[in-house]
Structure 1
Amino acid sequence: MINTTDLNSVYSSLANVFGVKSADIRYYIMKNKFNILKGYPEDVNIEEFLMFIKKLNGKATINFEKITISQLTSRIYKKDISKEPIFNLFDALTKETDMSVYLNEKGIEFKEIEGILEVYYKNQRVDWSKYFNGYESAAARMVSNRLEGNSFGSIDKCVNGFLFNGKLHENSDVYHIYKFPEILENMLRLLNLSNVSMNWAKISKSYTITFMADIENVVFDFSASLNNKQKQFKIIRYCLYYLSKKFFNDWDENCNPKMRLKDDLNVNAEQIINVMEI
């Protein structure tokens, strides 16, 4: 497994995967950091790295079946969240979770029917399409796409995250929502209940949760068609890039690649390896 919980974990897990010492990986980064950072992560010369590994132990094969993913989340009820599953969106809204309980208390309920998630407010089904032509069109279409899908793509209910753990809330794509889930904020804004989402932000605590996932169940944003071997190569390239950036104390969370699990999958509590309150 490649463990991306922190800097030392990346070094040690790379060493374990390739059968060398952490000091060997550190030496390679020290010697090659400038070349590694010449371009983008996708440009990292992985063949050169494998030649270095082969000189050390006579072989250089990339073979690991698991990776860690880190997710930004907020919770309002006092529980040991390391013992709680991470649900995909549909299960998070239909099972007994912080979000579903909180919304149920405000008169909002969810029913999964024929593969879509219907939303009811005060016992009336919400028709998101009535907001499509108004000033909240973007939010309405995002909610509708995630819960009901559209003619251009499937429903988006997957568990999302980033390859590397760290200050995820500094990533510009999630900075504005780290106090509450985006789907919650958008639904409540459309229902003229922004005070309910603001209250969530007030009473909640934010965390990063790191969990294990099988390579075959992981999808990179903008690289959904990669096979397992291609995903492994991509991860190693990103690890070398991350370690080189960290060498200069220059890692930027906006460089952190977004990842997700396949749509219907959840994360069992046994897969969670680290929880950090922000």
Structure 2
Amino acid sequence: MMASLDTASEGALYNSLAEIFSAPRHLIEYAIIRNNLSLQSAGSAEEVNLKSIKKIIDDKIDTESTIGDFDNVTISHLTTRSESSIENPKPIYNLHDSLLHDTELSFKLKESGIMFRKSKKGIDTYLDGSLIDWESMIPKSNEEPCIRMIMRRLQPNRYFPEADKCINGFLFGGDIWENSDVRHIIEMPEFAENILRVLGKRKAINEWRSKVKAYVITFQVPVSRIIFDGSNKLNRRQTQYCLLRHAFYYLSKIRQGDWDQWDNPIIRLEDNLNVEAYQIVSIRAV
């Protein structure tokens, strides 16, 4: 069975690295201690030297090891849901599929008269049955940045050939909501808040916030289907090495008591990918 990189916790990560390097767990810890100065001086995970770490392990086991292949990696995703939806986990859809399927997101927006349909341009929005022209709203609104964010997520444009609809999360588990980029999500889904705010539905926002809680959903996905935020040019093996460098950087930072959620890499899934229910490893309330 192909190994996986389990990043949900420190202990799980040590165990999965031991499997990938075909070495006892204590040698993974030993390699981090012996490589401490180099890891401490690394300005980022990209500077972590896997060959140096591998040599330390090889010297202890007195043989040439290999960095094993692994198919999957775990991702931790911050979301806001009702308790009832968490009791019976369903697939995690990318934004477009979430709006077009019968999901909690599409249902609650429908309660406010907002519906979505697929079109040649991407996703069209309807309010009480009338098509919304987002572009024409901009001159009359004080919410131009918010409107443009909505447009960016629903339809591609000349600057962005793909709409921003993908599922994303963090490489490592823990208190991911402490990252300031996502802290606002603990109140309600960002897209829902944006669209309700632009359409002046403040009451619906308040009601939504009162009925949901924030959760961290950890799921497992194939290495070949992930993209590091800001880079989509890595092949499968390069992605594996990048993940491993981040893993050792993370464990070193944890050991030093210097880990910050701001250092946690954002991982994007391929644009049209959904996470099936069987891929979900754990769900915990924030």
- TM-score normalised over the length of structure 2: 0.93
Alignment of 1:1-278 (within 5 A): 1-38=4-41, 39-55=43-59, 56=61, 57-80=63-86, 83-114=89-120, 116-133=122-139, 134-153=141-160, 154-278=162-286
- Asked whether the 8 Å contact 2:79–2:185 carries over to 1, the reply is no
Structure 1 residues 53 and 131: alpha-carbon distance in aligned structure 2, compared to 1, 3 A threshold: farther
Q: Which moved more, 1:80-89 or 1:10-19?
A: 80-89
Distance in 2 (CA, whole Å) between partners of 1:83 and 1:175 is 23
- Asked whether the 8 Å contact 1:51–1:60 carries over to 2, the reply is no
Shift of 1:34: 3.1
* Secondary structure, aligned partner of 1:276: strand
Shift of 1:249: 2.4
The amino acid of 1:13's aligned partner reads S
Identity of paired residues, percent?
A: 36
Structure 1 residues 54 and 168: alpha-carbon distance in aligned structure 2, compared to 1, 3 A threshold: same
Gaps of 5+ in 1: none
- Asked whether the 8 Å contact 2:228–2:268 carries over to 1, the reply is yes
Shift of 1:51: 1.6
Find runs of 4+ consecutive structure 1 residues off by over 4 angstroms. none
Distance in 1 (CA, whole Å) between partners of 2:117 and 2:90 is 22
Structure 1 residues 82 and 22: alpha-carbon distance in aligned structure 2, compared to 1, 3 A threshold: farther
- TM-score normalised over the length of structure 1: 0.95
Distance in 2 (CA, whole Å) between partners of 1:131 and 1:160 is 29
Gaps of 5+ in 2: none
- Asked whether the 8 Å contact 2:172–2:264 carries over to 1, the reply is yes
The amino acid of 2:219's aligned partner reads F
Cα deviation code 1:143-176 (max 9, x no counterpart): 1011011111111111111101111110010112
Shift of 1:251: 1.2
Query: Aligned-residue CA RMSD in angstroms?
Result: 1.5
Distance in 1 (CA, whole Å) between partners of 2:218 and 2:87 is 11
